[in-house]
Structure 1
Amino acid sequence: MGLLASVAGPLAERMADTPSSYIVVGSLASFFVLTIVLNVLRQLLFKNPNEPPVVFHWVPFIGSTITYGIDPYKFFFACREKYGDVFTFILLGKKTTVCLGTKGNEFILNGKLKDVNAEEIYSPLTTPVFGKDVVYDCPNSKLMEQKKFVKFGLTTEALRSYVTLITGEVNDFVSHHKGFQGSKGKINLPPAMAELTLYTASRSLQGKEVRERFDSTFAELYHDLDMGFTPINFMLPWAPLPQNRKRDFAQRKMTRTYMDIIEARKAAGGKKDSEDMIWNLMSSKYKDGTPIPDAEVAHMMIALLMAGQHSSSATVSWIILRLASRPDITEDLLQEQKDILGADLPNLTYEDLSRLPLHSQVVRETLRLHSPIHSIMRKVKSPLQVEGTNYIIPTSHVLLAAPGVTSKQSEFFPDPAHWEPHRWDAGHALAPQGGAGKVDEEEEKVDYGYGLVSKGAGSPYLPFGAGRHRCIGEQFAYVQLQTILVAMVRLFRFRNPDGSDKVVGTDYSSLFSRPLDSAVVEWERREKGENEKE
């Protein structure tokens, strides 16, 4: 009995101390279960016939966030099969209405300013990266003027000069990069192509002076700034996270770099010794006659550099990954160059790009399957009725367009998952259907304040968006991508390490879709004389 008492006494005391803990844990568990039950009942019993169907979800705030984030396209197609082209899902507590198909693209991307707004969605993410008073941190009318300034710096004459500059950067890069030393080897494409496109974009769009500052330190700053484009910063751009502290330091440092260039030019009397985008912006004025402030020029240069590098970085990686899965296409490309430009493969010119249809089709087909941005969002500013339905989208919702869905639909692109550049050949069995093969010149034009552009939203193929926020760097992107492709085909053969035709999956963890690491290919340098003039 004494032993029993000696054990039972302390045990009873400990049990007396624990009921409150059990009650707290039990209460939290009960609350969580009750929340889920009520959320499910609300979805089943209280459906609003005047709003799009809501994608079923268990946890209220989380909703479909995880499923959407892992693979947006898989999520979109699954929801389309169950709910149709218009549906709503919960994205971190926000009701997000998706409108798929060409009508959905038109509805959102060509929406009127009074109805839909991009600035409220993207400003929290982009302003800490680009800086104040540019892009989405200013009224739309001012953004249209800024786009006009930049567009005037992308003249045909400028693009013509960029071909030579980009080719030079590619040749210099592959001769010095450790991943391309020797006659053959392997290389992890995403980091290598990110570095290459940083150099090509800075040299062409921003000039020799900026390019010369891109040492390893500046490249690291760019990387830290790029890390600001993480999904959490849609909601918490101010959060004291390590990557955000690095982002803010990099933003200040890069702004100071551009400001130093501007101030030095002004101190020298403002006399141009070259022509580049900085000079173009320094000499531009807003409609009210106000010159662009130096800080805004610096911030616009940051935005321009990131725009010229981001999508091209991922797309160049995808192009080479696809060529590694189809070595026959690489040889077709080299043969096209020899047939059209000459067997001695003379130096590439801007005019040559339009004479190389297969090269253009490789870029086009890669963008079809690997659109850089999978989701384009707008804040609803006034209730909107979806044409052909009784759905009214309230102002509490966010609208989401996904043009990459239509470019993967079989009704527009037969065997849509198959990468086949020759599908764009006239009369090919896999040729685009339903207007998907229209060229830009055939589209209706509209001026949003920065010159005539194709509305384009009715097309199933919209790798650069549509409407007033259509990417103004589209033409530059094609020039950059095709020029890099021409140079790489002249220099290398590519194949998968295992000899298969497989391609790595997609990383959707940031705003931009990119290949998963490690995306490694084998390369073999072509023999001297096989790919260039002696």
Structure 2
Amino acid sequence: MGLLRSIDFSVITDALAPTFAFLVALPLIALIPLIFFTFLTLAVVINVLSQVLFRNPHRAPVVFHFFPWIGSAVVYGMQPYDFFEANRKKYGDVFAFVMCGRVMTVYLGPKGHEFVFNSKLQDVSAEEAYSHLTTPVFGKGVVYDCPNHRLMEQKKFAKSALTKEAFRSYVPIIVEEVQNYLKTSPYYYDNDPKKETGVADVLKGQSQITIFTASRTLLGQEVRNKLNTDFADLYADLDKGFTPINFVFPNLPLPHYKRRDNAQRIISRTYMDVIEKRRKEDHVDSSEDLVGALMANAVYRDGVRMTDQEIANLLIGILMGGQHTSAATSSWYLLHLGQRPDLVEELYQEQVRVCGIDPITKELNPLTYDHLQEMPLLNNTIKETLRLHSPLHSIFRKVMNPLPVPETKYVVPRGHYVLVAPGYTMMNEKYFKHSDHFEPKRWEDSTIEKEAAAAAATADSVDYGFGAVSKGVSSPYLPFGGGRHRCIGEQFAYVQLGTILACFVREFKWALIDKLPEVDYESMITVPKGPSDKIKWIKRNY
């Protein structure tokens, strides 16, 4: 107190008086930027000091960031794998980062796969993590907009269209759809049978091919007849609903939100028209296609039947679950093979060996499902593409109860998120030599694959409601996820992707026009970034 009495405050106030007078004299509107800058500076200072001075030893280390709330969202969103690698070197396999007000605890590598995919339902929730993101895209009452046990039963309903018998019938249908597309598409023959060469926009073309082949096989001819190339564009608009900004803000008055909502209404209405027509005509055949199977059999264990609108919404989810990931994967394998004419020729010779040549027409015999099983290079090309370009770069769960991180002192608090990135692991030199190289033949004698198969064979299995799956998720190769949310469409994906690739190899030789495009991480689906995603094709004449 004696020190305070000794200070002449009048000197201080006299010195600051001109500054106060200047601020008072400013118009209010001129003060707004100054006030904003002052608060921003104060927030940054407090945020930095809190990270430096108050680190919790029982929490995973948080990636340093200047701006509160925003955190590391920008650098993560631009290059997630580079972001993961840089912070793994600093903090190890377990660390956390702030993304738009959410704290994401990352666990990299196979142990991270185990930690997230095999966590108990009461401890982590995909529904709480994704429902606000997926519900505007798929619609109400399905996928993550329902209790988990309902989703497990929905997956069981969908599996009725994913049998080996169904796959056998799908292959000639996919072949027919691809051939028809190539004849009419402006990217290929454009209704000109004499055309010998051209340039294809790969992602746009593959998006259309995959929507046509998936709808025809899974949903039937009736649905396929209603679709054109514009319908694929609608699914692309839906796909743009899976961006980081949508994860944070489910609804904003922005153009891509409006396109998302418009696409959802049109696609849902298209499926509802088919369902209502079949109801009216009393035409409900569970063996006809997935639409008929759901109309006839989509009854939960408690006796509640799915409404027709929910069936339409589930059809969106099922078709989209395969369409956008298969469009990305088939785009990437065409682009990579555009740099490897040697592999394109080997893939062709593999078909000659497996399918044989018709002695009269001198053409390859028709492709069958059994042929696909006998083509290791073709399947390894798909496998290698999925390794290099995991469709989802990040998988989240919201933490519902404090979650200890095994073999550490860390505990992830309730309300935070856990994040796993199998795609990062699949690109890691620790598990795959020359991991950034496209080399399908690495799978011919894959120690990792054998180890994963052995681990899966010895691991316990569990039925979450859609059939037994292995609890073994410690493999570094997990392109289809694991646990209760493992993708049920893996075998269909190989049938669809394999048949499409076989058709291209029979029809064309091709090469990249430019260098291999970069990965576009704008969406959560890892698609090639235009405009360099183009190939020049030449009709194969033998």
Give the TM-score taking structure 1 as reference length. 0.91
1:406 lines up with 2:425 in the alignment: yes
Say whether residues 1:361 and 2:374 are aligned partners.
Answer: no
Partner of 1:421: 440
Taking the TM superposition and a 5 Å limit, the aligned residue runs for 1:430-509 are 432=448, 435=451, 444-497=460-513, 502-509=515-522
Aligned residue for 2:535, secondary structure, equals: strand
Shift of 1:414: 1.0
Name the counterpart of 1:76.
84
Aligned letter for 1:419? Answer: F
Distance 1:367 1:83 in 2: 28
Rounded Cα–Cα distance in structure 2 between residues aligned with 1:121 and 1:16: 48
The alpha carbon displacement at 1:491 in A equals 0.7
1:162 — aligned with what? 170
Which residue of the other structure, out of 251, 256, 263, is the alignment partner of 1:243?
256
Q: Secondary structure at the match of 1:254?
A: helix
- The one of 32, 39, 43 aligned to 2:47: 39
Moved more, 387-396 or 271-280: 271-280
Deviation, structure 1 residue 15: 10
Tell me which amino acid in the other structure corresponds to 1:404: G
Shift of 1:26: 3.4
Could you tell me which runs of 5 or more consecutive residues in structure 2 were left unpaired when the two chains were aligned.
1-21, 190-194, 359-363
1 CA distance for matches of 2:373 and 2:284? 36
Q: Which amino acid aligns with 1:76?
A: F
**Kept in 2: contact 1:52–1:88 (CA 8 A):** yes
User: Aligned to 1:85, which of 93, 99, 105?
Assistant: 93
What SS does the aligned partner of 2:451 have?
coil
- Match for 1:197 among 202, 210, 227? 210
Q: Aligned ranges for residues 125-524 of structure 1 at < 5 Å?
A: 125-181=133-189, 182-270=195-283, 272=285, 275-284=288-297, 285-344=299-358, 345-426=364-445, 432=448, 435=451, 444-497=460-513, 502-518=515-531, 519-524=533-538
CA drift at 1:249: 2.7
Q: Is the partner of 1:522 in helix, strand or coil?
A: strand
Unaligned runs of 5+ in 1: 1-13
> 1:301/1:24 Cα in 2 relative to 1: closer, same or farther (>3 Å)?
closer
Q: Please tell me whether the aligned partners of residues 355 and 366 of structure 2 are also in contact (alpha carbons under 8 angstroms).
A: no
Tell me, yes or no, if structure 1 residue 57 matches structure 2 residue 65: yes
Residues 264/114 of structure 1: CA separation in 2 closer, same or farther (3 Å cut):
same
Task: Quote the Cα distance in structure 2 between the aligned partners of 1:220 and 1:333.
Answer: 31
Alpha-carbon distance in 2 for matches of 1:305, 1:118: 20
2:125 matched residue in structure 1: 117
Kept in 2, the 8 Å contact 1:62–1:91? The answer is: yes
Distance 2:455 2:208 in 1: 32
One-letter amino acid of the counterpart of residue 56, structure 2: N
Classify 1:222/1:426 alpha carbon distance in 2 versus 1 (closer, same or farther; 3 Å). Answer: closer
Separation (CA, whole Å) in 1 of partners of 2:39 and 2:65: 17
Q: CA deviation at 1:434?
A: 8.8
> Partners of 1:160 and 1:441 in 2: how far apart?
26
Matching residue's letter, 1:136: Y
1:3 aligned residue = none
Offset of residue 522 of structure 1: 1.3
Q: CA deviation at 1:263?
A: 1.7
Question: Could you say what secondary structure the match of 2:187 adopts?
Answer: helix
Shift of 1:504: 1.2
Pairwise CA distance, 1:408: 1.3
Larger mean Cα displacement after TM superposition, 19-28 or 363-372: 19-28
Deviation of 1:248 (Å): 2.1
Distance 1:463 1:472 in 2: 12
* Structure 2 Cα separation of the partners of residues 37 and 233 of structure 1: 29
Preserved contact between residue 397 and residue 417 of structure 2 (Cα < 8 Å): yes
Choose 62-71 or 216-225, whichever is displaced more: 216-225
CA deviations 1:464-494 (Å, max 9, x no partner) are 1000000111111111111111111111111
Identical pairs, percent: 49
Code of the aligned partner of 2:264: Q
Q: Figure out how many residues of one structure are paired with residues of the other and give that number.
A: 510
Q: 1:496 Cα shift?
A: 1.9
Tell me how far 1:353 sits from its aligned partner: 1.1
State the match for 2:9 in structure 1.
Answer: none
SS in 2 for 1:53: coil
Q: Please, which of 96, 106, 112 is the counterpart of residue 98 of structure 1?
A: 106
**Which amino acid letter does the alignment assign opposite residue 277 of structure 2?**
A
CA distance in 2, matches of 1:460, 1:424: 14
Range with greater deviation from structure 2 (187-196 or 442-451): 442-451
Cα separation, 2, equivalents of 1:98 and 1:183: 50
In the alignment, the residues of structure 1 paired with residue 429 and residue 461 of structure 2 have an alpha-carbon distance, to the nearest angstrom, of 28
When residues 424 and 515 of structure 1 are mapped into structure 2, their CA distance, relative to the original with a 3 A threshold, is same
Q: Deviations over 1:15-43 (max 9, x none)?
A: 99537666544343232222212211111
| 1:223 Cα deviation after fit | 3.4
**Matched AA of 1:139:** P
Contact 1:101–1:460, Cα closer than 8 Å, also in 2? yes
SS of the aligned residue for 1:524 comes to strand
Contact 2:241 2:260 in 1 (8 A): yes
Task: Give the TM-score, by structure 2 length.
Answer: 0.90
Q: Amino acid of the residue matched to residue 289 of structure 2?
A: D
